[in-house]
Structure 1
Amino acid sequence: MRKKAVRNQLWVPIIAMTLLIAGCGTKTEPMVDTAAGSKQQQSASPAPAPQTPVETVELTISAAASLTDALKEIQTVYQTKATSTKLNFNFGASGALQQQIEQGAPADLFLSAATKNMKTLVDNQLIDAGKQKNLLTNELVVVVPVDSKVSIGSEADLSKPEVLHVAIGIPESVPAGSYAKEALTYGKLWDSLQSRMVQGKDVRQVLQYIETGNADAGFVYKTDALTSNKVKIAFAVDPKSYQAVEYPIGIVKSTKHGKEAEDFYNYLQSKEALDVFVKFGFTVPK
Structure 2
Amino acid sequence: MKKYLPVVVACQVQIQSLHRAFLLSLLLCVMLISGAARAGDIHVYAAASLTDAIGELGSAYEKTHKGVGIKASYAGSSTLAKQIENGAPAQLFISADQDWANYLQERQLLDENSRVNLLLNELVLIVPAGRKVDIRFDKDADLIASFNGKLCTGDPSHVPVGKYARQALEYYGWWDSIQPRLVGTPDVRTALAFVERGECALGIVYKTDALLTDKVDVVASFPAQSHVPIVYPGGLVRGANADAEAFWQFLQSDKAAQVFQRYGFKRAQ
Which residue pairs with 1:230 in the alignment? 215
Which residue pairs with 2:202 in the alignment? 217
Question: What amino acid is aligned across from residue 268 of structure 2 in structure 1?
Answer: P
Q: How many Å apart are 1:162 and its aligned residue? A: 3.3
Which residue pairs with 2:267 in the alignment? 284
Distance 2:137 2:199 in 1: 20
Distance 2:91 2:119 in 1: 19
Which residue pairs with 2:69 in the alignment? 86
**1:232-267 CA distance string (max 9 Å, x none):** 110101211111000011100133xx1111010100
Which residue pairs with 1:66 in the alignment? 49
Give SS of 2:234's match. Answer: strand
Moved more, 145-154 or 120-129: 145-154
Give SS of 1:130's match. Answer: helix
In the alignment, structure 2 segments of 5+ residues that lack a partner are 1-32
Q: How does 1:102-251 map to 2 (within 5 A)?
A: 102-154=85-137, 156=141, 158-160=143-145, 162-251=147-236
CA contact (8 A) 1:61 1:108 kept: yes
Distance 1:162 1:124 in 2: 43
Distance 2:98 2:201 in 1: 30
TM-score (normalizing by structure 2): 0.83
Distance 1:143 1:131 in 2: 35
CA contact (8 A) 1:153 1:234 kept: no
Question: What amino acid is aligned across from residue 110 of structure 1 in structure 2?
Answer: F
Q: How many Å apart are 1:75 and its aligned residue? A: 1.4
TM-score (normalizing by structure 1): 0.78
Q: More helix by proportion, 1 or 2?
A: 2
Moved over 2 A (4+): 53-56, 149-158
Distance 2:165 2:73 in 1: 24
Distance 1:253 1:196 in 2: 41
CA contact (8 A) 1:114 1:246 kept: yes
CA RMSD, Structure 1 to Structure 2 (Å): 1.7
Q: What percent of counterpart residues are identical?
A: 39
CA contact (8 A) 1:165 1:198 kept: yes
Distance 2:198 2:107 in 1: 41
In the alignment, structure 1 segments of 5+ residues that lack a partner are 1-52
Which residue pairs with 2:239 in the alignment? 254
Q: How does 1:16-31 map to 2 (within 5 A)?
A: none
Give SS of 2:264's match. Answer: coil
Question: What amino acid is aligned across from residue 229 of structure 1 in structure 2?
Answer: D
**1:187-217 CA distance string (max 9 Å, x none):** 1111100011111110000000110000111
Is 1:97 matched up with 2:74? Answer: no
CA contact (8 A) 1:59 1:85 kept: yes
Q: How many Å apart are 1:172 and its aligned residue? A: 2.2
Number of residue pairs aligned between Structure 1 and Structure 2? 233
Which residue pairs with 1:31 in the alignment? none
Bigger-Rg structure (1/2): 1
Question: What amino acid is aligned across from residue 75 of structure 1 in structure 2?
Answer: G
